[in-house]
Structure 1
Amino acid sequence: MSSEKESFYNVLGVSDTSTGEDIKKAYRKMSLKYHPDKNNGDLESVKMFQKISEAYEVLGDSQKRNEYDMMRKNPFMRMASGGPMSPGGIPFDQMDEFLSNIIFGGLGGMPFGAGGMPGGMPFGPGGMPFGHGGPNIRIFRNGVPMNFGNEKPQPITNTMTITMETVLNGGKIPVEIERWILENGNKIHEKQTLYVDIVKGIDNNEIIVLKDQGNVINDQCKGDVKIYIKIENDSEFQRRGLDLILEKRISLKDALCGFSFDLKYINGKVYTINNHAGNVIPPEYQKVIPNMGLTRDSHTGNLIIIFHIDFPEKMSLENIEILKNVL
């Protein structure tokens, strides 16, 4: 964020006098709107979703919100050459980005208090260094907590689209992410290929968390990667829990006289479905084939074939008489 117009409050569309409940409602509404799954993994939506999550992590926590408000309204910030400046030589129009970095550890090479403060020490009101009494404001230098705490970087989010065959069989799927590693005070960006374990029977919109695989501050402070699963159903089967549903249309003749058809399963195997003459299929009849659904842990669903009967729109009088004699 680079301007007051993009403060955490403006990101969530609330005022700085909003209650915690109002902020929570705004966060839920916006996170639902910009959730990657709702927008087919659109990059701008992912970025906005991260921004919303970042804003709520601060404003949704009363202590972090108080710190944030104090830093935004601190009276010791004063004018300096070239425009209004903070004590470390930071322009006011960059304050929200600066505050975000203080809270989340992303200063990216900008030493705190280095612009005009003796020795680069961060000073608060009255010339007292932060940490010497007063509010518990956390200070970062080049993205590293000066108290060497365990504040994790924000998670990297990504959307993975998988097929129904992958849902059936599971497996390892590669995904490429871009992360940064803090080295000597600088963020080194790199691309990394990770392998995601897809369990059998995984659900749409399920989130897989890869612990400590994201951005790296140091060996003890690593962020996570969150993978949002989107299932692309390219088969003729619908899913209901672990059950697979196949809707099959047959003619009235087939319903009365028997039928045979080939069924191509999700994994490509072909099965023949027979119904012998004399076994009448009523409309909306459901044939349950046990243990041919999806598996999750020790549970396996069924394959359910729902038969829809196509009745003729009209019949000749001759055929009607024939049916009367037969039925």
Structure 2
Amino acid sequence: MTSDYYTLLGVTKNASTEEIKKAYRKKALKYHPDRNSGDKDAEESFKKITEAYKVLSNPEKKSQYDRYGHEFFTQQENSGYYGAGANFSNEDPFEVFKEVFGGNSVFENLFSSATNSSNYESRENNLDIKYTLDISLEEVCSGGDREIEYKRYLKCVDCYGKGYPKSSSMLTCMECSGTGFVIINKGFFNIKQSCSNCSGRGVLIREVCNSCTGNGFTSKKVYIKIHIPKGIETGSKLRLKGKGDYGQNDNCGDLYVFINVKDHNFFERSGDDISCIVPLTFKTACLGGSITVPTLSYGNITLNIPKGTQNGTIFKIRNYGLPRINTNLKGHQFVKVEIEIPKKLTKNQEDILKN
């Protein structure tokens, strides 16, 4: 491996601290001695990339490295010019590794990171998926089926949810002796909980599955048909058991579909009832007659208007509202009339009104 720190980590001089850290993590996992037993070249590479990270992750040292160049900087660094205890030969690369990955055990950090254990554990407590579905008022009236698209985590088909290929070697977790759990003493109580060292697996994995990067699951876009009951309201929740994310022991969470009924451009809803406003001519209001009124799902109907109908009068059309959920009952449609006053009248019309 070349000695230039930027080339060692595979980053540019303009790389951010986070990009440098990310590059180090990737290479540290690749060259860690626990993954390359007996490989002296890998061990030396591990030391070199750790040395590179130690410098480039420190803004002050990075600035000095960029200013003076690799050869001069390393000579001065090893001589202690930049401060006591800076000699690279005295550095423990495993301590740096633990600082980056967190935790106290090098072996724990290497493999728990490789299998994304923290992500694995957090998902086990939250495998349910929430989905908001917008529906129309017409769909509330008729009910029916809708196909939705969403993403969920499914068992990896390449490793069958194990997180590692069949050929991968494993080591029994020493923290839990392969049981997957530990007993914690809390005063008078002993509490059984998942082993944090192996994330409850009981084993530490040396090689992860390439398809799922050791998680045991992959994200997929899926389609599913759901049934919308008649009369459903905004805020209603439909539960589809087992359609959530994949978890341990082939357990899957549930899919919760939250209903949002969109506003209608003509009708307003109030429970099972609907209402609308229709225009009424001045003549019909005075003399009576009939008008055509649209309904939500039953086409147009004829509404009889009695003589002398006043502006704002509300008519009730029974059983033309929305179905009441899980029953055979229906609400009503309320029609409010607004009388249209003509802006211009003929002389004959004016005379009739005057008389």
The aligned amino acid for 1:212 is: G
Secondary structure at the aligned position of 1:322 is classed as helix
Equivalent residue in structure 1 for 2:139, among 157, 160, 166: 166
Matched residue, 1:279:
307
Could you tell me which amino acid in structure 2 is paired with residue 170 of structure 1? G
The CA distance in 1 between the partners of 2:109 and 2:240, in whole Å, is 40
Amino acid at match of 2:222: Q
Query: Would the alpha carbon gap of residues 87 and 162 (structure 1) be closer, same or farther in structure 2, given more than 3 Å must change?
Result: farther
Instruction: Give the Cα–Cα distance (whole angstroms) in 2 for the partners of residues 152 and 264 of structure 1.
Output: 50
Q: TM-score under structure 2 normalisation? A: 0.48
Q: Report the equivalent of 1:180.
A: 153
Q: Tell me how far 1:287 sits from its aligned partner.
A: 0.2
Deviations 1:55-104 (A, max 9, x none): xxxxxxxxxxxxxxxxxxxxxxxxx7525899895775x88xxxxxxxxx
202, 227, 244: which one pairs with 2:232? 202
Q: CA deviation at 1:144?
A: 5.0
For 1:221-260, what aligned pairs fall within 5 Å after superposition? 221-233=251-263, 236-260=266-290
Distance apart, 1:152 and its partner CA: 3.5
1:323 corresponds in structure 2 to: 353
Larger deviation: 162-171 or 81-90? 81-90
Q: SS state of the match for residue 214, structure 1?
A: coil
* Cα-to-partner distance string for 1:147-199 (whole Å, 9 max, x where unaligned): xx994434333332222221101122111222112411232232322222212
- Give the counterpart of 1:157 among 130, 136, 141: 130
Read off the aligned partner of 1:280 and give its amino acid letter: G
Q: Following TM superposition, by how much is the alpha carbon of 1:214 offset from its aligned partner in structure 2, in angstroms? A: 1.1
2:353 alignment partner, SS class: helix
CA distance in 1, matches of 2:96, 2:283: 85
Contact 1:167 1:201 in 2 (8 A): yes
Query: 1:281 is matched by which residue type in structure 2?
Result: T
Q: Counterpart of 1:295 in 2: which secondary structure?
A: coil
User: Letter of the aligned partner of 1:214 in structure 2?
Assistant: G
Residue 238 of structure 2 contacts residue 257 of structure 2 at CA under 8 Å; is this kept in 1? yes
Deviation at 1:305, TM superposition (A): 0.2
TM-score normalised by L of structure 1:
0.52
Residue 318 of structure 1 deviates from its aligned partner by 5.6
Q: 1:140 to 1:211 in 2, by over 3 A?
A: farther
Contact 2:245 2:254 in 1 (8 A): yes
Q: 1:23-68: per-residue Cα shift (whole Å, max 9, x none)?
A: xxxxxxxxxxxxxxxxxxxxxxxxxxxxxxxxxxxxxxxxxxxxxx
Give the CA deviation at 1:273.
Answer: 2.1
Which amino acid is 2:224 matched to? Answer: L
Match of 1:261 in 2: 291
Report 1 or 2 for greater relative contact order, CA contacts < 8 Å, sequence distance ≥ 6. 2
CA–CA distance in structure 1, aligned partners of residues 135 and 228 of structure 2: 9
CA gap of 1:279–1:176, structure 2 versus 1, over 3 A, is same
Residues 1:308 and 2:320 are matched in the alignment: no
Letter in 1 for 2:314: Q
Q: Which runs of 5+ in 2 are unaligned?
A: 1-16, 19-49, 58-92, 156-160, 164-215
On the 8 A contact 2:127/2:247 being kept in 1, the answer is no
Aligned amino acid, residue 160 of structure 1: L
Partner AA of 1:292 in structure 2: Y
**1:163–1:231 CA contact under 8 A, matched in 2:** yes
1:150–1:220 Cα contact (<8 Å) kept: no
Larger CA Rg, structure 1 vs 2: 2
CA distance in 2, matches of 1:117, 1:166: 57
Distance 2:231 2:238 in 1: 14
Query: Offset of 1:279 from its aligned partner?
Result: 2.5
> 1:291: which partner in 2?
319
Q: CA deviation digits over 1:247-302, x for unaligned, max 9? A: 01112111112233333322252322233xx5221110000112211122335321
List per-residue Cα deviations over 1:198-227 (Å, max 9, x = no partner).
Answer: 121222343433333111113563223232
* Greater mean deviation of Cα atoms: 283-292 or 214-223: 214-223
Change (3 A) 1:161 1:89: farther
Q: What is the CA–CA distance in structure 2 between the aligned matches of 1:91 and 1:251, rounded to whole Å?
A: 82
Q: 1:314 Cα deviation (Å)? A: 5.9
8 A Cα contact 1:175 1:194, kept in partner: yes
- SS state of the match for residue 256, structure 1? helix
Identity %: 22
Which amino acid is the alignment partner of residue 340 of structure 2?
Answer: D
